[in-house]
């Protein structure tokens, strides 16, 4: 009898608590961000990949407001890539794109709004974001554990005054590198003191269009750099999240010392650039039997 009473008490407690939690979070106060989102793709000019500002060509066409020092680094990255190198694009090692580059997804993106946290889930790189909306402040020890996507704090606001939230304001700090804005190697400052502010909102005339206005404050810039990224909701009520991309799988780039090589189809090391010296093989026996 004692155990039966305990079971009944547990069931009653669960039943009572569940509606309370449900009433605490009224998702009708928030914009409908459910479903599968994909970036609005536009041509990137002569460069392959996803440009940072989707409304301008990739590379020099981005007109990034870099300081002279970091403009020189960018031009050096472009020159190395023109020869077949990977300078300025750390993602070839399967490192995270980091913020703000991660907000230009190649594949699907999902946004999950909960009472105290909004999650941005990006499938193709398994590099999700957690945006805290519970009123907390930035932790004092962020420098002890920096992350590629940083530490994000957000706040929902009602900009049009209709009684429902329509905009998520986000600030991200606590970042680590190396990070670039896009594949052409537009650099962020090596001190990683970047601050990124976002304004995420649905289009006023099209509820299936989402905008992310991103402003980056970085010591490699002469001024804050603002771009707006656009995403379109896939028109299906039951999206299928079955695509899996593992960067390390079939990655043919081989990093040895300061050089980047390729692995050929027959499993042999080959140069990535014309005239590239071979790796140092002093620890191998070169004799042939």
* Residues β-bridged to residue 213: 199, 228
Question: What pLDDT score was predicted for residue 242?
Answer: 65
Mean pLDDT of the region 46-64: 90
Task: Tally helices (H) and strands (E) across the chain.
Answer: 2, 12
Mean pLDDT of the region 189-209: 97
**pLDDT of residue 173 exceeding 80:** yes
Q: Rounded to whole angstroms, what are the CA distances from 4 to 7, 13, 14, 266?
A: 5, 14, 16, 67
How confident is the model over 37-51, as pLDDT tens digits?
A: 999 988 777 777 789
Residue 84: phi and psi, rounded to 5, are 110, 5
Contact residues for 90 (Cβ-Cβ < 8 A; gap 6+): 177, 178, 179, 180
Instruction: Give the C-alpha separation, 112 to 121, whole Å.
Output: 8
Question: What pLDDT score was predicted for residue 288?
Answer: 58
Give residue 2's pLDDT band: very low, low, confident or very high (50, 70, 90).
Answer: very low
Give residue 12's pLDDT band: very low, low, confident or very high (50, 70, 90).
Answer: very low
**pLDDT of residue 232 exceeding 80:** yes
How confident is the model over 99-140, as pLDDT tens digits?
A: 999 999 888 899 999 989 999 998 766 678 999 999 999 999
Q: Are strands 151-157 and 129-132 parallel, antiparallel or unpaired?
A: parallel
- Residue-range domain boundaries for the chain: 37-233, 252-289
Mean pLDDT of the region 81-107: 87
Residue with the bigger pLDDT between 245 and 62: it is 62
Mean pLDDT of the region 205-230: 97
**pLDDT of residue 18 exceeding 70:** no
Question: What pLDDT score was predicted for residue 243?
Answer: 63
Residue with the bigger pLDDT between 126 and 75: it is 75
Question: What pLDDT score was predicted for residue 187?
Answer: 97
Residue with the bigger pLDDT between 260 and 11: it is 260
Across the beta sheet with 269-271, the strand order is 253-256, 259-263, 269-271
Question: What pLDDT score was predicted for residue 57?
Answer: 93
**Lowest mean pLDDT, pick from 47-51, 70-74, 149-153, 206-210:** 47-51
Residue with the bigger pLDDT between 174 and 143: it is 174
**pLDDT of residue 16 exceeding 80:** no
């Amino acid at each position: 009898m004692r155990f039966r009473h305990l079971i009944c008490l547990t069931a009653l407690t669960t039943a009572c608590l569940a509606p309370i939690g449900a009433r605490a979070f009224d998702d009708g106060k928030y914009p409908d961000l459910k479903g599968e989102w994909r970036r609005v793709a536009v041509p990137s000019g002569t460069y392959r990949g996803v440009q940072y500002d989707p409304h301008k060509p990739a590379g020099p066409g981005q007109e990034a407001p870099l300081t002279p020092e970091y403009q020189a680094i960018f031009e050096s990255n472009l020159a190395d890539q023109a020869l077949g190198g990977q300078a300025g694009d750390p993602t070839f090692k399967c490192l995270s794109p980091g913020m703000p580059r991660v907000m230009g997804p190649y594949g699907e993106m999902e946004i999950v709004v909960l009472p105290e946290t909004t999650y941005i889930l990006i499938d193709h790189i398994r590099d999700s974001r957690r945006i805290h909306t519970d009123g907390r402040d930035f932790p004092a020890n962020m420098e002890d554990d920096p992350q590629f996507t940083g530490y994000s704090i957000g706040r929902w606001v009602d900009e049009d005054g209709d009684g429902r939230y329509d905009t998520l304001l986000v600030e991200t700090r606590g970042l680590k590198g190396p990070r670039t804005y896009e594949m052409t190697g537009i650099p962020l400052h090596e001190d990683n003191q970047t601050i990124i502010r976002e304004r995420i909102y649905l289009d006023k005339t099209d509820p299936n269009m989402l905008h992310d206005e991103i402003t980056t404050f970085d010591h490699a810039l002469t001024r804050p750099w603002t771009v707006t990224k656009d995403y379109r909701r896939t028109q299906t009520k039951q999206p299928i999240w079955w695509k899996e991309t593992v960067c390390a799988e079939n990655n043919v780039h081989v990093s040895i010392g300061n050089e980047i090589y390729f692995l050929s189809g027959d499993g042999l090391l080959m140069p990535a650039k014309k005239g590239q010296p071979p790796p140092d093989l002093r620890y191998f026996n070169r004799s042939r039997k």
